[in-house]
Amino acid sequence: MVELRAIRADEWDEALGLWEEVFGVGQWLFDSLHQSTTDRSWEHARVAVEDGRIVAAADVFLRQVRDEDGVPQLMGGIGSVATRPEARRKGYSRALLNQIIERMAIDGCKWSMLFTGSFDHYAPLGWKRIALPGADAQLKNQEFTTDSTVVRLGDPWPFTEMGQLYDSFNGQRPLTGIRTDLIWSIAIKVRLEQPERFCLGRVVDRSLKGYLVATKGNRGFDLEEMAVQPGDTETVSVLLQGFASLIKEDWIDKFSSQLPTDPTLDGPLAEICERLDRVGSPWTMVRPVDPSWTDARLDALFKKPEAVFYSLDKF
């Protein structure tokens, strides 16, 4: 007999073990999302239990994400959908997802988003594929230098200053998430401290003028995020020069970018890039939850050229 229900507090460690086993990712990822979510409820994490053992689980993380007009709206981020091999093809995962859809409606979510390569699993439940904005870039064939004001940021992290820059730069930007102090201090911190990721900052007179976040992976470099005061193209240019210099040290001249189209970014990017081809990341699915939201509205939101959903906010 299977139980399909909300997780219990004393089962959380067991669920973390399940997710680590299925996804091959450390428990820090799942627990940081749990710990950093305001108004978190055990009702958000759903489990299938056979003979007293969790065999499947799914979770939803509530986030405030800006709509097409820059107004924060409640979004349900689906994550941690996993089933043990011996319990697959029994319908547990979809049953749990149906419970989560009901939970999102109760909580007042307007829409939902998830990241997957298993599109057929979610499509029957109303999620549809959509492209996240992004770009493929190639550096110019020239030397780049790192300015003396550029430093590597790390612990202790200047999250107060970083948060102010993030809010100023993304104040009305569609798709960007609202980052609370809790999100910065838990979810963002643990992601920034992963070995493949680095963060550059520009410090002038002991003041942080801007920051850049990037990842070095098996497929090369990924420029994930930048934040400066709007119009501060000088800081953007200095940070991008430092980023380009690091790439060149690895004899690489190509990178992917998740930066949005923005007047403060576009000129400095053109200065370092031979080409910049706007493409979409194909691993995203979305669905309306509130009746006032439609597939057409979500499609228009994601097509906004200035829109961006940063990797550090993924679930």
Q: In this predicted model, what pLDDT tens digit does every residue of 16-46 receive, in sequence order?
A: 999 999 999 999 999 999 999 999 999 999 9
Q: In this predicted model, what pLDDT tens digit does every residue of 168-202 receive, in sequence order?
A: 999 999 999 999 999 999 999 999 999 999 999 99
At 106, the pLDDT band (50, 70, 90 cuts) reads very high
- Per the CB < 8 A criterion, the answer to whether 261 and 134 are in contact is no
Q: Topology of domain 2-131+282-313, per CATH?
A: Aminopeptidase (3.40.630)
Q: Burial, 289: exposed, middle or buried (Cβ in 10 Å; 0-12, 13-18, 19+)?
A: buried
Q: In this predicted model, what pLDDT tens digit does every residue of 122-169 receive, in sequence order?
A: 999 999 999 998 999 999 999 999 999 999 999 999 999 999 999 999
Residue environment code for 246-260, b if the CB has 16+ CB neighbours within 10 A, otherwise e: bbeeeeebebbbbbb
Q: Look-up: residue for tokens 């609370």? A: 180
Residue 219: predicted pLDDT: 80
pLDDT of 292 above 90 = yes
Give mean pLDDT, residues 52-68: 98
Give mean pLDDT, residues 72-101: 98
Identity at 93, one-letter amino acid code: S
135-280 classified as CATH 3.40.630.30: yes
CB-CB neighbours of 205 under 10 Å:
6
Half-sphere exposure of 101 (CA within 13 A, CB side): 16
d(CA 22, CA 77): 19
Strand locations in 140-206, DSSP E?
150-152, 197-204
d(CA 54, CA 14): 7
d(CA 224, CA 222): 6
Return the domain boundaries, the chain: 2-131+282-313, 135-280
d(CA 283, CA 13): 28
Q: CB under 8 Å to 261, separation ≥6 — which residues?
A: 133, 278, 305, 306
Helices (H) and strands (E) counted in the chain, each on its own, are 10, 12
Q: CB under 8 Å to 23, separation ≥6 — which residues?
A: 82
Residue 77: predicted pLDDT: 98
Three-state SS at 1: coil
- Per the CB < 8 A criterion, the answer to whether 214 and 250 are in contact is no
| β-bridge pairing 53-66 and 111-115 | unpaired
Residue 218: predicted pLDDT: 82
CA distances, 82 to each of 15, 21, 22, 61, 277 (Å): 10, 9, 7, 15, 35
Residue 217: predicted pLDDT: 85
- Per the CB < 8 A criterion, the answer to whether 239 and 103 are in contact is no
Three-state SS at 271: helix
Residue 245: predicted pLDDT: 97
pLDDT of 280 above 90 = no
> Is there a common fold for 2-131+282-313 and 135-280?
yes
d(CA 181, CA 187): 10
- Per the CB < 8 A criterion, the answer to whether 210 and 242 are in contact is no
Q: In this predicted model, what pLDDT tens digit does every residue of 199-253 receive, in sequence order?
A: 999 999 999 999 999 999 888 999 999 999 999 999 999 999 999 999 999 999 9
Residue 302: predicted pLDDT: 97
DSSP label of 170 = T
Q: In this predicted model, what pLDDT tens digit does every residue of 6-22 receive, in sequence order?
A: 999 999 999 999 999 99
